[in-house]
């Protein structure tokens, strides 16, 4: 939603080029080259902490709880990590700098392509609503709906699909009709995120799925379909 609002209020004016990111006398690293290096970096980091007893929780966090590899590939390496990255990978300093600049360039290029696709595929009626309100009303409505559903799941342990039963159908419709400003919708979202953090600590739901039970269910479904 914030990305679309940015595009509405301050659309990008031109396709990014390497020189915008101080890449002058050499070619930027390609997407494949970046991904290959970052895959290597991820494996090095994982290898460093895999067998350290005191780092067991960190290893679990980086390999199971969050998509650390995805984070590495999605965001530019911060300045404060460059020296360590250079030493860990035994790379040249100028290569690491090119890596960082290339990351910024490729991210900007990805956002430019997403902007062009958004422009090309916009529904005219929805585009007019966005122009009047200054943000994507449908995204705003779904954002609030999903956050409320998250709170309900944590609190009640069930998914309420029908928003008439949940009691917020009219409120969601009001968001979709543009009766709330962007600031009001964002305030609703912020309040729901804060509420979700509180309810998460109080929830009776387990913090992790029962993988054994899920596997058993999958096997039962396969057997029911006669695919075994």
Q: State both tokens at 210.
A: 């029962």
| CA 225 vs CA 63, 152, 211, 213, 221: distances in Å | 33, 33, 21, 19, 6
Percent of the chain with pLDDT over 70: 92
CB 154 within 8 A of CB 199: yes
- Model confidence over 119-133: pLDDT tens digits? 898 888 888 888 888
pTM of the model: 0.71
- Model confidence over 101-152: pLDDT tens digits? 999 999 999 999 999 999 898 888 888 888 888 899 999 999 999 999 999 9
- Model confidence over 160-215: pLDDT tens digits? 999 999 999 999 999 999 999 999 999 999 999 999 999 999 999 988 888 899 99
The residue whose two tokens read 């090119």 is: 98
Contacts of the segment 89-95: beta carbons below 8 A, 24+ positions apart = 89/37, 89/40, 89/41, 89/44
pLDDT at 207: 81
Q: Where are the alpha helices (DSSP H) in the chain?
A: 2-9, 31-49, 56-60, 68-74, 82-89, 93-121, 124-133, 137-156, 163-166, 169-176, 182-202, 211-225
CB 168 within 8 A of CB 214: no
């Amino acid at each position: 939603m914030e990305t679309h609002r940015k595009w509405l209020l301050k659309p990008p004016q031109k396709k990014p080029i390497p020189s915008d990111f101080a890449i002058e006398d050499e070619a930027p690293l390609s997407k494949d080259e970046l991904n290959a290096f970052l895959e290597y970096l991820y494996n090095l980091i994982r290898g460093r902490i895999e067998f350290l007893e005191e780092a067991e929780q960190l290893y679990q966090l980086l390999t199971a709880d969050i998509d650390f590899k995805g984070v590495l590939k999605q965001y530019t390496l911060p300045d404060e990590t460059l020296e360590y990255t250079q030493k860990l990978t035994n790379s040249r300093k100028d290569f690491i700098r090119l890596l960082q600049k290339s990351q910024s360039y490729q991210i900007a290029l990805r956002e430019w392509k997403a902007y062009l696709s958004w422009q090309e595929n916009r529904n005219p009626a929805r585009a007019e609503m966005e122009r009047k309100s200054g943000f994507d009303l449908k995204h705003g409505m779904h954002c609030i709906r999903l956050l409320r559903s998250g709170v309900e799941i944590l609190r009640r342990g069930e998914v309420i699909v029908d928003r008439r039963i949940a009691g917020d159908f009219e409120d969601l419709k009001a968001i979709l009709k543009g009766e709330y400003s962007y600031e009001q919708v964002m305030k609703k979202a912020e309040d729901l995120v804060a509420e979700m953090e509180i309810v998460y600590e109080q929830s009776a739901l387990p913090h992790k799925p029962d993988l054994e039970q899920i596997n058993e269910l999958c096997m039962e479904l396969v057997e029911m379909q006669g695919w075994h």
